[in-house]
Amino acid sequence: MHVETEGLVGESDIIKAVRHLIAQVAPTDANVLILGESGAGKERVAQNIHKLSKRKDKPFVPLNCGAIPAELLESELFGHEKGAFTGAIASRPGRFELAEGGTLFLDEIGDMPLPMQIKLLRVLQERTFERVGSNKTQVAHVRIIAATHQHLEDRIKEGKFREDLYYRLNVFPIHMPALRERAEDLPLMIDEWLAQLRAVGEPVIHLTESALDCLKSYAWPGNVRELHNIIQRLSVLFPNQLVDVPDLGSPITDEPAKAYVEHVNADPFALPEAGVNLREIVSDLETRYIEAALQRADGVVARAADLLGLRRTTLVEKMKKLGLARDVA
Ligand SMILES: Nc1ncnc2c1ncn2[C@@H]1O[C@H](COP(=O)(O)OP(=O)(O)O)[C@@H](O)[C@H]1O
Ligand SMILES: [Mg+2]
């Protein structure tokens, strides 16, 4: 069976199996639980299920349960009435209302606080909810797709996740494989992104055979997201150039990126013939350093800010601007 999926590039058996599951579950109203490492493409799977469902002309509403403070989550999900709590200056619909008739994507469901899990379970069982501060019951015609990188069985054992909610959500599980499990798909994905860059007139890289082999054998802890970032970064660093193994740099090659160092030493600020996209280079640089600092600081923003010589608030602002905020607790 050929399944028309968007942005889920790959011809490996493992990704074909995922596409097959998507096609099977999409037309139903079953809850779906998407499991897999961060950056593996879980949100892409959710979007594809929605697009292939009869709800496709209704909204697809994502909510990252891990990124929203516990005390705001209830009002995010169910909305609130004016005056329901301090700061509720106007009434507001929640994601359940916004997703009416469509799909609600609950990302990082494993991070949802226990009290909210109980409330969510009630909605899944009864299909009704109330805005915070309201006693008007509303019916939710919403399909739920949840995702997490966590092992929910472990969370259940630790008492951090409700078993009954797990069974409600886990009606149709889809495991999104890590990129390293389907390395054969790398060339196709890279081609796809380079074609996209070319289509908008951006310069692209040309990878040597050995550079491609090197990419294929790397473990990709950040999965497709990491690969995508690296291809974009290389395209900025080596516009219209041949990229060989040493150019790939750390952490892909274990040795220091010789050619990159040479390239930088030659004249780091040499302006290429075709000019540069300064804004992109600067935000790419910022993204790189911020991601590295966050990783070294175990995600503690204040500590990462110290490593970057920034105030915490400045870093948070930058992260929001660069779209990095959702990955941090
Ligand atoms: N199969 C794929 N083909 C092309 N790009 C993909 C694919 N899967 C993921 N992406 C890219 O990887 C990024 C991360 O995907 P996402 O669905 O947000 O991962 P997750 O939700 O598992 O963290 C996307 O923004 C997109 O750039
Ligand atoms: Mg995600």
The distance between the two most distant Cα atoms of the chain, rounded to a whole number of Å, is 69
Mean pLDDT is lowest, of 3-12, 168-177, 179-188, for: 3-12
pLDDT beyond 80 at 60: yes
Exposed (0-12), middle (13-18) or buried (19+): which is 244, by Cβ within 10 Å? middle
- Tokens in use for 106? 């609950």
284 vs 266 pLDDT, higher one: 284
The 10 Å Cβ neighbour count of residue 304 is 24
Nearest to 129 by CA among 113, 107, 114, 144: 144
Distance CA 250, CA 115 (A): 43
Residue 135, number of CB atoms within 10 A of its CB: 7
User: Does residue 22's CB lie within 6 angstroms of at least one atom of ligand 1?
Assistant: no
Cα 86 to ligand 1 centroid, rounded to whole Å: 38
- Cα gap 205→241, rounded to integer Å: 5
Confidence of residue 255 (pLDDT cuts 50, 70, 90): very low
**pLDDT for the residue numbered 277:** 77
* Whether residue 228 has its Cβ less than 6 Å from ligand 1: yes
pTM of the model: 0.77
Helices 223-237 and 186-199, axial angle in degrees (round to 10):
50
Mean pLDDT along residues 217-234: 94
Distance CA 287, CA 225 (A): 13
User: Quick check: 251 pLDDT over 90?
Assistant: no
Q: Picking from 215-219, 282-286, 307-311, which range would have the lowest pLDDT averaged per residue?
A: 282-286
> What is the structure's pLDDT at 194?
94
Residue 284 in contact with ligand 1 by CB distance below 6 A: no
pLDDT over 70 percentage in the chain: 91
Ligand that comes closest to the CA of residue 40: 1
Q: Rounded CA gap, 143 and 62, in Å?
A: 12
* pLDDT above 90 as % of the chain: 75
Q: Of 100, 121, 109, which is closest to residue 147 (Cα–Cα)?
A: 109
Residue with the smallest CA separation from ligand 1 atom 17 is 41
Average pLDDT on 214-219 reads 94
Cα separation, 61 vs 22, in Å, equals 18
| Centroid of ligand 1 to alpha carbon of 299 (angstroms) | 21
CB of 7 closer than 6 angstroms to any ligand 1 atom: yes
pLDDT (0 to 100) of residue 299: 87
DSSP 132: B
* 51 backbone dihedrals φ, ψ, rounded to 5°: -65, -25
Higher pLDDT, residue 295 or 54: 54
Ligand 1 near 9 CB (within 6 A): yes
pLDDT at 70 over 50: yes
Q: How many angstroms does the Cα of residue 45 sit away from the middle of ligand 1?
A: 9
Distances (CA, A) of 118 to 112, 156, 174: 10, 14, 23
Check pocket membership of 38 for ligand 1, CB cut-off 6 A: yes
Q: How confident is the model at residue 39 (pLDDT cuts 50, 70, 90)?
A: very high
Check whether 264 has a pLDDT greater than 50: no
The closest alpha carbon to 68, from 124, 106, 120, 119, belongs to 106
* Backbone torsions φ then ψ of 267, nearest 5 degrees: -175, 95
Kindly state the average pLDDT of the residues 209-231.
Answer: 95
Question: Quick one: which ligand is closest to 66's CA?
Answer: 2
Q: Determine which residue's CA is closest to atom 24 belonging to ligand 1.
A: 225
Question: Is residue 168 in contact with ligand 1, taking CB distance under 6 Å?
Answer: no
Write down all domains in the chain, each with its CATH number in brackets. 13-177 (3.40.50.300), 183-321 (1.10.8.60)
* Residue 42 contacts residue 34 (beta carbons within 8 Å): yes
Q: Which residue is listed with tokens 């074609």?
A: 195
Per-residue model confidence (pLDDT) at position 182: 96
The response to whether residue 323 sits with its C-beta less than 6 Å from ligand 1 reads no
Q: Which ligand is nearest to the CA of 224?
A: 1
How many whole angstroms separate alpha carbon 280 and alpha carbon 277?
Answer: 5
- In this prediction, residues 200-224 reach a mean pLDDT of 94
Please report which ligand is nearest the Cα atom of 44. Answer: 1
Using a 6 Å cutoff on CB, does residue 8 contact ligand 1? yes
Is the model's pLDDT at 55 over the cut of 60?
yes
With a 6 A CB cut-off, is 189 part of the ligand 1 pocket?
Answer: yes
Give the residue-averaged pLDDT of 286-313. 90
DSSP 53: S
pLDDT of 267: 58
Q: Which of 101, 103, 81 is nearest to 91 (CA)?
A: 81
pLDDT tens figures, 89-144:
899 999 999 999 999 999 999 999 999 999 999 999 999 999 999 999 999 999 99
Cα gap 292→308, rounded to integer Å = 10
pLDDT value for 256: 43
Structure tokens, 45: 């799977």
Q: How far is the CA of 105 from the centre of ligand 2 (A)?
A: 10
266: pLDDT strictly greater than 70:
no
Residues 300-310 have a mean pLDDT of 92
Choosing from 3, 225, 226 the residue with most ligand 1 atoms within 8 A of its CB, the one to mutate for a pocket test is 225
263 lines ligand 1 (CB under 6 A): no
Report the residue count for the chain. Answer: 329
Mutate to test the pocket of ligand 1, among 179, 228, 291, 322 (most ligand atoms within 8 A of CB): 228
The number of the ligand 1 atom at minimal distance from the alpha carbon of 10 is 1
> What is the predicted pLDDT for the residue at 113?
94
Top pLDDT among 163 and 271 is at: 163
